[in-house]
Structure 1
Amino acid sequence: MDTMRDRFAPVVSRLLDEDPRVAVVLAEIGKDAFHDAITRHPERVINVGIREQLLVGAAAGMALTGLRPVVHTFASFLVERPFEQVKLDFGHQGTGAVLVSAAASFDWPAGGFTHMAPGDVALMDTLDGWTVHVPGHPDEAETLLRHAVAAGDDRVYVRLSVQSNQQALPVDGERFMTVREGRAGVVIAVGPLLDAVLEATQGMDVTVQYATTVRPFDTAGLRRAAGAAGTDVVLVEPYLAGTSTAAANDALADLPHRVLGLGVGRRELRRYGTVEEHTAAHGLDARSLRERIGGFLGVRAGV
């Protein structure tokens, strides 16, 4: 199966052909995939070199001229390094773009901590007015990319990953999707962690919701799943643990509930290893999730 990033350049290249407002801004990373698009649209595919602050600043300038820029590089270089430019050039100036990251969390362990950004969504959450998509499959990435580009002049962050669920679901860019119903609690699986959550909760009497758009947070969807009596909630996110616990607590503020946030830990894992080893070390594999979810909700398989 191809990856989400494999879909990125072909999808956006087609959008360049279809919509004269669309532009692409790169900082070396990913430029080869746009070779043909650069030939067709040299004025709308710009490579600024290894200058991430300029990457964001140039995209914001293009947005001010009426273009719809799609900005791409690794998450650590797209969100963390030029964060001041993201905050000021888009937010303060009241303009928008589509930021599309790669190498989410620990997707490329050999790159070391400089190429990891598990805190990217938490950092974006400090800014006002950003939509955040976290697809869990290449097909979903394609849908959400098109949704993001078509979203007027809104500010959108699309988080691509090499991790993927086996099957795509019909995501709409807005709401959580209930994929299993139960009575002992709600487990929200974000993006590429759905398969692990479904395996971990097999036989448990819990509701599983699937989230690929995490900002704005689907307050109404969680409240429907929690019911009028309230319930306990487990958030399983492929980035910094606890990123969405405040949003879940706010959604259920008037109902009795507890929230457990599972995700990438704060401790830096200094051995390269593999993606699978990092997943297990952070307790995000199905076996670890089964123990942690079952312990928090007080349920066992078949009970």
Structure 2
Amino acid sequence: METMRDRFAPVVSRLLDEDPRVAVVLAEIGKDGFRETMARHPDRVVNVGIREQLLVGAAAGLALTGLRPVVHTFASFLVERPFEQVKLDLGHQNAGAVLVSAAASFDWPAGGYTHMAPGDVALLDTLDGWTVHVPGHPDEAETLLHHAVAAGDDKVYVRLSAQSNRQGRVIDGRHFVTVREGRRGVVVAVGPVLDAVLAATQGLDVTVLYATTVRPFDAAGLRRATRAAGTDVVLIEPYLAGTSTAAVSEALADVPHRVLGLGVGRRELRRYGTVEEHTAAHGLDPAGLRERIGRFVGAAEQVGAGV
């Protein structure tokens, strides 16, 4: 099955051909997908080697000359290792770039903890002005890559994953999509967890919102959903649990509400295992989600009934 990352090089190569502002900066990883494009545009496809700090610094330099750099490597090497350069070279200098990651939280368990980055979105959340896209299907990844490159000189993070929902949704790069409507709570599913969330909430009287853009957070969309479904919110993210609970609380600051944040736990799982085993260990499989969402919604029903 085609992955989100399979779409990356073809989409960005077409953008390189169409837009003279677009440049690509790589650090070895992903270079094979750009061999032909590099021959066509040797001045706008740059491979810095295994130097991730230079990867981001070079992208910032290109941005300061007026180019729109697209920067790609694994999430742990794109956000965590060169975080100082992300903070200063891009943020402090107000230089825009599109950071496109691969491997996500635990997409390559055999790579070990050095190749896992469940805290990437939370880390970027300490900085100002970042747009964060989390597609859940290759079609959505293609749409969001186009949005990211076209976003003027903004700072954008596109988080690609090997995990995917079975079908893509129509998205606009800004708003949540209502997938199911209910009356006893709102469940927000981010990116590739949607299929598991839909399976876990089957038969539960809850509204399910689908989020592929989490920064800016669609506060208005969440508020609209809570008017009919109530202000108990379950947030399921494919990265560090609780990353966006503050955004939920801010959106509902003027009304009583409860928030349950589910996602990747902080405890390091030291056996390689498989993606499916990691997913289950973090409670992100349908059975694990059903148990925790059901308990949360059930508790809300008991409180409402005065039990």
Report the TM range for the smaller structure's normalisation: over 0.9
What amino acid is aligned across from residue 184 of structure 2 in structure 1? A
Which position in structure 2 is the counterpart of 1:290?
A: 290
Whole-Å separation in 1 of the counterparts to 2:135 and 2:186: 20
Q: Please name the residue that 1:40 is paired with.
A: 40
**1:57 paired to 2:26:** no
2: CA distance between counterparts of 1:212 and 1:7? 17
Q: Which residue of 1 aligns with 2:190?
A: 190
2:257 alignment partner AA:
H
Matching of residues 185-224 of structure 1 within 5 Å = 185-224=185-224
Counterpart residue number, 1:168: 168
Q: Percent identity?
A: 84
C-alpha deviation, 1:256, in angstroms: 1.3
Q: Secondary structure at the match of 1:227?
A: helix
Partner of 2:98: 98
Q: Distance in 2 between matches of 1:252 and 1:230?
A: 11
2:305 maps to which residue? none
**1:230–1:252 contact (8 Å) kept in structure 2:** no
- Residue 246 of structure 2 corresponds to 246
2:138 corresponds to: 138
Deviation at 1:149, TM superposition (A): 0.2
Could you tell me which residue of structure 2 aligns to residue 66 of structure 1? Answer: 66
Residues 115-146 of structure 1 deviation map (CA, whole Å, 9 limit, x = unaligned): 00000000000000000000000000000000
The aligned counterpart of 2:271 is 271
Q: In the alignment, residue 78 of structure 2 is paired with which amino acid? A: L
What is the one-letter code of the residue matched to 1:84?
E
Residue 159 of structure 1, CA deviation: 0.1
Question: Is the alpha carbon distance of 1:268 and 1:198 closer, same or farther for their aligned partners in structure 2, counting shifts above 3 Å?
Answer: same
Residues of 2 paired with 1:291 and 1:37: CA distance?
Answer: 48
Letter of the 1:245 partner, please give it: T
Q: Report the Cα distance in structure 1 between the residues aligned to 2:75 and 2:92, rounded to whole angstroms.
A: 21
Q: Tell me what 1:80 maps to.
A: 80
Shift of 1:249: 0.5
How far apart, CA to CA, are the structure 2 residues paired with 1:135 and 1:231? 26
Distance, in Å, in 1 between the alignment partners of 2:242 and 2:184 is 21
Structure 1 runs of 4+ aligned residues shifted over 3 Å read none
Deviations 1:80-102 (A, max 9, x none): 00000000111100110000000
SS at match of 1:71: strand
Does the 8 Å contact 2:185/2:229 carry over to 1? Answer: no
Compute the TM-score of the two structures, normalised by the length of structure 1.
0.98
**How far apart are 1:110 and its partner, in Å?**
0.1
- 2:95 and 2:112 map into 1 onto residues whose CA distance is 33
Q: Can you give the 5+ residue segments of structure 2 that lack an aligned partner in the other structure?
A: 301-307
TM-score (ref. length: structure 2): 0.96
Contact 2:186 2:229 (C-alpha < 8 Å) held by counterparts: no
Report if aligned partners of 1:69, 1:98 keep a CA contact under 8 Å in 2: yes
